[in-house]
Structure 1
Amino acid sequence: MLRPEHCLRLLPAATPAFVGASAPFSCPLPGGGAIRLRHPRARTPRLRGEPSSVMRASAGPDAVASAPEMPQREVVRALAEQAVARLGPRLLPSAVPDDVAEFRNGAGNAVGSLDVRRGAPGSSIDFMLQSSLHCKVPNGAIDITSILIFLNCMTDAPHFLLELIQGSPTSIVVVLDLLPRKDLAFHPDYLQKYYENSRMDEQRAKIDELPQVRPYRSPSLFVRCACSPTAVMVSIDCGQGGEGTLEEIVRGQLAMVAKEVLQFWLDCCADSTTKMDNTERDFLLKRDQIVRSKSIEVDLTANLPMMFDPDVSSRVISEIRKAFGVQEA
């Protein structure tokens, strides 16, 4: 669901627009330390299976064989492991086809990956989705990494979202939030339970207080109204020569805050059930469907085909629609 306008100018003429196409909005760790990350030069493992024929397709001189290892990928991978260890049998194995688990465009300058694990029957988990996209552009590359975990109508607790867009080696846009599923002004008890008592604002402040951080204001009013008032929505810009500083922030403060927000979500949201009458449940389902449908409309159907061949983008969008429970209009 992010649309960082500063990234649009970087795209080659063949891909005139790009709006977060990879992201569809687009065991508790011991101790209190930061998430332990692999060495930044370690090779990124595939989400599942062997490289598909799409990945093996020939490409031009600017082709990328796979998305490079980056600190934000390690953060998301560690969060996914944290969630899977806690949720365990409440998550079904991934059933994403190989040609969607990893995919590339015909020119070979853009690669993506998608992994979706649905919730087991009787679980409050609807699905957990991990996605990434790496696109080479004339002045560098754009990299998007995200994880979201959506709940079903057994509870009205918030969804979990982390989305990271890196448009240069020294800057990154971050959105970390517990996506509310109710109107917070109309439901002050919901606001207090999930955002005030949980001290989510303190987590946001840990990022906001960094000198390299500036507020990020999405150009999409839908995105801005869909997020909570405690959302981390920032641009981290470390300036010329600040690659090392950015890596330290991503591995340090950002990883720590994301871990703590996810831990709260696992403790207080993932296991919750909510007693609702039919009217309340119907309204919750309707609201969820609007958020999902709008995110697909904004992020995917309008933009993914600009970066990938029609057959590739169609397969990816189809799998995300399936996960979201949204039929094509």
Structure 2
Amino acid sequence: MEVIIRSHFLHSPPLSILSSFSSLQLSAPRCIMMNTQKQGRSKFLEFPFVSAPHKNLLVDLVTTIEDRFQSNLLPCSLPPHVQHYKNKSDTSQISLQITPGNNDSPIDFVMGSWVHAELPTGGLLDITSLSAYLNTSNDAPNFVFDLIRSSPTMLIFFLDLLPRKDLVLCPDYLKTFYDDTKLDTHRQTLENLSEVQPYLSSSLFYRAMASPTAIFVRISTENDGGDRIDEIIRNYLDPITKQVLGIWLDHCACAKRELGEEERASLGKRDCVIRNKTIEYDLGSSFPRMFGPEAAKEILEAIKEYFFMKT
């Protein structure tokens, strides 16, 4: 199963039903929408199928981003079935939150999700993801985090600041965002652990898209019920991820980068290709297996709408 799995959807209530309401009654849908937003966010932040250290890390990441960009992030407006979905056999479910940035924000959108699925082999798969995408007012890298746990003693961890420019053609970009920030030290620290081995994705696309400082590892421990994995999450993955997020917030999301019209157009085109390929190679192949072709199609259409509404 490849990393970077995120998402969710099904139908919204027909707006025609609301057209006959009086002006006094029109406040009801607004209240319902606010309640739906709160319920969707609350469900997402439950992370109900992962361990306490795993959940604590995700909650801290989400709240850190939200606290930093409070007034620049809009509420998630996905309908309830988009924000949380279960398949008919109740063997797979997803919770999804997409929070767009407003017009004054460098954030295009922040997307977080958790996936819980029963495997044909009888095991369980839990995928938690958080990514933050910048718009074309800033060419700095995007933040991507994925933690995939397929057993109590094995997980795959992906953490990166995805470059949005060619690093060979733009050595200053490489120096500013990857060398000067000493991002590679975090990967080196983690790979010193005996339980950690580099993970080589079978997808050439993801290997080409990642930065040279990307952390892409498999962590496997003894059959101890997951105690050692949780210790590694708490003592290593948690501080490393928070440090990388801090670098992204301070040096990328808040970077002042002057871009001309041609640069912004080129950046927008590149962003569009990356998003298309993410859907095609990752979500497009995994979702039909997990949720069936019809539901998968609806889920992917909902994601595409957010992926491309600003490009």
TM-score by length of 1: 0.79
The aligned amino acid for 1:320 is: I
Kindly report structure 1 stretches of 4+ aligned residues shifted beyond 6 Å. none
Are the equivalent residues in 2 in contact too, given 1:100–1:315 (CA < 8 A)?
no
Which among 86, 92, 117 is matched to residue 135 of structure 1? 117
- 1:1-329 equivalent positions in 2, closer than 5 A: 3=2, 21-22=5-6, 48-49=38-39, 67-70=48-51, 71-137=53-119, 138-241=121-224, 243-325=226-308
Q: Give the share of equivalent positions with the same residue, in percent.
A: 35
* Higher mean C-alpha displacement, 275-284 vs 292-301: 275-284
The amino acid that maps onto 1:255 is: D
In structure 1, the gaps of 5 or more residues are 5-19, 25-45, 56-65
Distance (Å, rounded) in 2 between the aligned partners of 1:50 and 1:266: 25
Instruction: Tell me whether 308-317 or 257-266 shows the greater mean CA deviation.
Output: 308-317
Cα gap change, 1:213 to 1:242, in 2 (>3 Å)? farther
Structure 1 residue matching 2:128: 3-state secondary structure = strand
Cα deviations across residues 12-53 of structure 1 (Å, max 9, x unaligned)?
xxxxxxxx64369xxxxxxxxxxxxxxxxxxxxx984279xx
Distance 1:140 1:174 in 2: 19
Distance 1:50 1:165 in 2: 22
Q: Is the 8 A contact 2:146 2:157 kept in 1?
A: yes
Deviation at 1:95, TM superposition (A): 0.8
Partner-residue secondary structure (3-state), 1:304: helix
Q: Paired residue for 2:14? A: none
| 1:122-177 superposed Cα distances (whole Å, 9 cap, x missing partner) | 21100000011011123320111000000000000000000111111101101100
Q: Which whole-Å CA distance do the structure 1 matches of 2:218 and 2:107 have between them?
A: 30
Equivalent residues of 2:145, 2:160 under 8 A apart: yes
Q: Deviations over 1:268-305 (max 9, x none)?
A: 11112321222221211111111000000112223212
Instruction: Report the AA paired with residue 68 of structure 1.
Output: F
AA aligned opposite 2:297? S
1:174-209 CA distance string (max 9 Å, x none): 110000001111111000000000010111112111
* Counterparts in 2 of 1:86 and 1:21: CA distance versus 1, 3 Å: closer
Question: Which of 1 and 2 has greater Rg?
Answer: 2
Evaluate the alpha carbon distance shift between residue 163 and residue 47 of structure 1 in structure 2; reply closer, same or farther with a 3 A threshold: farther
Aligned AA for 1:110?
A: S
Amino acid of the residue matched to residue 103 of structure 2? Answer: P
Deviation at residue 75 of structure 1 after TM alignment: 1.4
* Larger relative contact order (Cα-Cα within 8 Å, sequence gap ≥ 6): 1
Where does structure 2 lack aligned partners over 5 or more consecutive residues? 9-35
| Preserved CA contact (<8 Å) 2:37 2:77 | no
Q: 1:320 to 1:87 in 2, by over 3 A?
A: same
Name the CA distance, whole Å, in 2 between partners of 1:50 and 1:231: 31
- Residue 224 of structure 1: how far off its partner (Å): 0.4
1:73 to partner: Cα distance: 3.2
Structure with greater helix share of residues: 2
Partner AA of 2:96 in structure 1: L
- In structure 2, do the counterparts of structure 1 residues 21 and 267 end up closer, same or farther at CA, with 3 Å as the change threshold? closer
- SS state at 2:133 partner: strand
Q: CA deviation at 1:326?
A: 6.8
Secondary structure of 1:161's partner? strand
Residues in 2 aligned to 1:145 and 1:74: alpha-carbon distance in whole angstroms: 12
Contact 1:114 1:131 in 2 (8 A): yes
In structure 2, give the amino acid aligned to 1:169.
P
Cα distance in 1 for partners of 2:213, 2:5 equals 25
CA RMSD of aligned residues (A): 2.3
